[in-house]
Structure formats: C-alpha cells, structure tokens
Amino acid sequence: MRNHRFNRMITALAGAALVCGLAVVPCAAQAATPEEAEAAARACGIPEEDIQAAWNQFYAEPEKYTPEVIDKMIEQLYIAQGQIVTNVPYNPDAVIPALTDAAQAPAETVTTAASAAQDEQPATASQTPDSQSPASPSGGNNAGSTTEPDITLMMPDGTTFTRIGKNRFIALSYQDKLTYLGTFTSDQQSVIIENLSPEEYRSMLKQLPSDQKLDVIDTLSGITDDLGLTITVDELTDDSAKISLRDAKGELKGVAEAGKLVADTGYDRRGFFALCGALIAAAFGGLAVLVHSCFTEEITEDER
Amino acid sequence: MKDKKNRNHPAVHYATPFILLALCTGVAAAAMIKPADKLKVYANIAFMDDQKLSGDDTGLVIRDNEIIENYTGETSEEGEVIPPQFGELFATVYSPAIGLDVPVYWGNSPELFERGACQSSGSSLPGRDGNAVISAHVDTFFADLSKLKAGDTVKIRTNYGEFEYEVRTAVEFKSNNNKYVNPSEENILTLYTCKKDILGSADDRIGFVCDLKKKSFYTGNEVTG
C-alpha cells in the first residue's frame, strides 16, 4: 500500500547510499521497469517489507508507474539521501566519549563494502592495523571493540584508512556520528559515506532531527505528487514519525509509522482498571469508616 | 452508661448507599469490560455500512464487501490476485478447529481493528508468494487464537480464491521484534495477536506460522449458499 511505499522511500534513503554515494557522486537513475527498480532497491539495502509493500502498491495501480515515474522516484531518493548525511567540517581533534570508553582491539579481520563510485576502483579488504586514521592519534576514537573489528577503506589514490565497525557506528548518536565523521578529511569522509551500510544509513535516518526529517519528507513529496498523492505529517519527533498518504479527494490511502511493523492488538486498559480499583478501594475505605463508626461505643458524660 | 449513637447518625444513612453504589459500580465495570468488547464487535458487524467514512477526519474509507463462502465452480492453482484498497474488507480467515471466522481488512488502523482482523499492507496478499501477515485484537476477533494447534487448518477466503494453510508452529515474540512479520520467501500465513494480559496492554505477542497447502483461484462464477 501507499503508506508502506512511503516507508520504503524513507528507508530507501538509507540503503541507496551504497550504490550512488550520496551527493558526492551524482547518479543517474535508469530504472525503467519495476523489476529494475526492485533490484536497485534491494542492492541499496531497502528492507524487504518495504519492497513487498511497493509491489503491493504497484499491483494495485500498475498504470501509474511509468518508466518516467520510476526514474524520477529514484532520482528523488538520491536527492533525499543527501539530506541525511553529507561531509562535515574537518576536526581531527574531536573526541567522542562513547568511542574512547571502548576497549582497544586488534583490527585483524576487516570487512568493507565496495567503493566503485569515484574511480571505478573497488575498495578492497586488507589487514592494515597501521592504516592512516586521523581519529586514532587524536583521541582514541578509532578504538575497536573486542568483538568487532575496524573497517579498512581504500582511497581513490590507493591509500587506506580505517574507521570503526558497523555496529559501533550504529550505536552512536546522530551528533556523535557527525563528529566522528569530522575526524576524517573531506576525501575520507566521502569514501566513508559511500561505503555506509544500509543499516548504518537507516540508523542515521531514525536519529535525524525532526527538522531534517521534514526536509526529507518534503523531497519525497515530489514523488508522491506524480502519483496523485499527498503526504501529511501526523506526528513528528526526533524519535518517531507518523505519516499519512491521501489522494486528491482526501481519502486515506495509507499510514506509515517508521519502523513499526507489529500492530497493537490489545486495548490498553491500565487506566480503566486503575479507575475501577480506585473506586473499589474508596468504597471499601468508606465502608470501613462506617463500620468503625457504627460499632464504636461512645462514652457518655456520666462515664467520664 | 454506654450508648451506640453513631449507628443512627444521619451521615451513616446518607453515606451507606453511595458507598455501596461505588463498590458495585467498580466491580461491575471491571467485570463487564470483556463482555462489552464482544458486544461492541457484534454491534459493529450488525450495523456496518458497505462503505463508511471514518468518524474522524482521517479520510479513512472503510469498504465492507461480501466475501464468497461457498464457491462450487472450477478452480485453478494459478490465477489473478485482486489487490484491495486501504481499509477494504477483502477476505475472511476461517478455522473450524477453533470456530474462527473473521473478516480481514487491508491495512492496519485502529478503526479497522474494531471491525475485524487486519492484514499488514507490507505483507503478501494471499495467492501471491511470501508471508501473509494477519493480526487482530486478542479481546475480540482473535480471543481464541491461542487455541490453535499444529496441524489445524486455516483458510483464507477472498473473492478471487480460497487458500488453505496448515498450522506449523506457535511462536511468541515481542512487539518490537519484526522477525515473524517480515516478508519471507516461504509461502506462509502468520496470524498473531497480543498475549492475554489482564491489563490489556501487552508487549508480548503470540502467533502461528502456517504453511500453504492449497491454492484455489476461482475461475468461474458458481456460488451457492
């Protein structure tokens, strides 16, 4: 349905970075068929449930998805993904407490995503514990965890540098992620951004400040306009986003709550039962007072 | 001399009925909440319109369709799936083992959960490959879901075909765990609801994963009953 299509778009912003390298490397969308779009989406790391939702929507109104619409959709995604993260000012002296607290570990196993964006030369995995890493000497930001090795990336000129592993990057706050990125040179930042995994992108998308989320939604609304749909933001905080899609008549076509797949299948009755409990407790309290007063013998003046 | 004057104090006479009323109200309200839920379900079904605009300003249009129950014509293993619109009643989930026969709406929405089960629009439609995920309230439509057992038959009836599943296993998961509601390459049906909780709001979900056993797309128009 359309709501999940939007969800797909949102999450696609994260995954598409793998392929096109954000705003650093301009990419031309060439997906003329839904199958090609699906393949591109999957390669970009878009969650399967969103791809499924997109297919459901496509089957409902296939005539709307012309090659031009699909191409534009992907182009808009590329624009929007640049709103999630771009290069930040270089600050090699920045220290990130969340990283400096971690234990040092040997970078014996290295994984890296292919980086073919800038010079068609794929990034290669290599064991380079002494690779250039601006964060290491400055504040220990390159400290690896005991369970996750650092990632070695290759620059276009063939030199290598390391960055922290995927899980540690995901665990950082959005600001810490940007600060960490800033410990690398601009060229290194570009390579890192090109090689961010879909999960890393997704984590950044979730952490985006609400004003930036609005920018992303605004960009994506260009896609839905072509499909005759309007996006309405029902709820937007730094931690959540609830969005509705409506057609030209105002009919609701879908509701998306970021990342929420399991439905609420029970009524929350805590308040109701608390009220009932309070009523019963108050009644028992009143009864106790009554019984107490009824069976308490008053001492008369004579007895005093 | 002792005198039990308080028993005849006017305050006792005035307060007693109110206290008893409060007690009875509290107990009755707590005891009636479950039957009231069921009554609301019956009322919803009895007075449902074919096409109803949601009472609020969300723009949700609920479409109630008649679902074919007794198709006697020719069927085929392959056929065309008719995609529903958001808020459309497009199927029923039926299991004779537990007396389950519940309407299924497309999409998740609180209003739709009041009227039946809901299929996530991020899951596969019955008849297509993948995981069809259907959920409903534990207090109403899926109150007896937990009685399903491995081997029980569950059918999804739509207006384009009937799809028979067999319960493979029961599962439990947290509301923030998407494992069982994610798409799958297997042709399965996942039914879930909240784990029963006296307070109604539970983070735990119970579900059943069912394997597709038979696909019957309708190719004719013969309907009886």
pLDDT in tens, B136-180: 998 889 989 999 999 999 999 999 999 999 999 999 999 888 889
pLDDT, mean of residues A81-93: 84
- Please check whether residues B116 and B201 belong to one and the same domain: yes
In a domain, B174, yes or no: yes
Number of Cβ pairs closer than 8 Å across A and B? Answer: 187
pLDDT at B48: 63
Instruction: Determine contact, residues B141/B134, Cβ cutoff 8 Å.
Output: no
Examine the pLDDT at B4 and tell me if it is beyond 80: no
Same domain, B106 and B207: yes
Rounded to a whole number of angstroms, the CA Rg of chain B reads 23
CB-facing half-sphere around the CA of B191: CA atoms within 13 A: 36
Do B165 and B210 lie in a common domain? yes
- Flag whether pLDDT at B196 surpasses 50: yes
Could you tell me if residue B224 is inside a domain?
no
- In this structure, the answer to whether residues B34 and B77 fall within a common structural domain is no
Residue scoring higher pLDDT (A78 or B116): B116
Query: How many independent structural domains does chain B possess?
Result: 2
Instruction: Check whether residue B30 and residue B125 sit in a common domain.
Output: no
Identify whether B97 is part of a domain: yes
Pairwise CA distance, residues B210 & B215, whole Å = 14
Quick one: B31 and B90 in the same domain?
no
Q: Distance (Å) from the C-alpha of residue A23 to the closest C-alpha of chain B?
A: 29
Residue A283 has its nearest CB partner, among B22, B136, B182, at B22
Are A254 and B122 in contact (CB < 8 Å)? no
Give the pLDDT band (50/70/90) at residue B225.
very low
Q: Please tell me the predicted confidence (pLDDT) of residue A14.
A: 39
Residue whose structure tokens are 């007693």: B16
Clarify whether residues B148 and B57 are in a common domain: yes
pLDDT of residue A138: 39
Angstroms from B94 CA to nearest CA on chain A = 19
Q: Which residues of A touch B30 (CB under 8 A)?
A: 273, 276-277, 280
Question: Is the same domain home to B91 and B185?
Answer: yes
Q: CA B141 to CA B194: how far, in whole Å? A: 11
Check which CATH number belongs to the domain holding B95 and give it: 2.40.260.10
- The whole-number pLDDT of residue B197 equals 75
Q: What is the pLDDT of residue A148?
A: 80
Give the closest residue to B132 by CA, choosing from B214, B76, B192, B82: B192
Do residues B55 and B36 both lie within one domain? no
Which residue does chain B place closest to A57, by CA atoms? Answer: B83
Gap from A283 CA to chain B (nearest CA, Å)? 5
Q: What is the ipTM of this complex?
A: 0.73
Query: Domain spans of chain A?
Result: 2-84+206-257, 97-195
pLDDT tens, residue by residue, A216-239: 778 777 767 777 888 888 877 766
Residue A124: pLDDT band with limits 50, 70, 90 = very low
| Residue in chain A nearest B142 by alpha carbon | A265
Q: Is it the case that residue A19 has pLDDT exceeding 70? A: no
- Tell the burial category of A294 from Cβ atoms under 10 Å away from its Cβ (0-12, 13-18, 19+): middle
**One domain for residues B83 and B165:** yes
Lowest mean pLDDT among A231-235, B112-116, B209-213: A231-235
Nearest to A56 among B109, B121, B200 (CB): B121
pLDDT band at A44 (very low <50, low <70, confident <90, very high): low
Q: Is the CB of A59 less than 8 angstroms away from the CB of B122?
A: no
Whether residue B59 sits in one domain with residue B32: no
Are residues B132 and B32 located together in one domain of the fold?
Answer: no
Range of the domain at B26: 5-41
Chain B closest-CA separation from residue A199 CA (Å): 15
C-beta separation of A216 from A208 below 8 A? yes
pLDDT at A183: 93
B181 vs A254, A261, A286: nearest CB: A261
Dist. CA A201–CA A173, nearest whole Å: 13
User: Using a CB-CB distance cutoff of 8 angstroms, which residues of chain A are in contact with residue B199?
Assistant: 268-270, 273
Contact between chains at A280 and B26 (C-beta distance less than 8 A)? yes
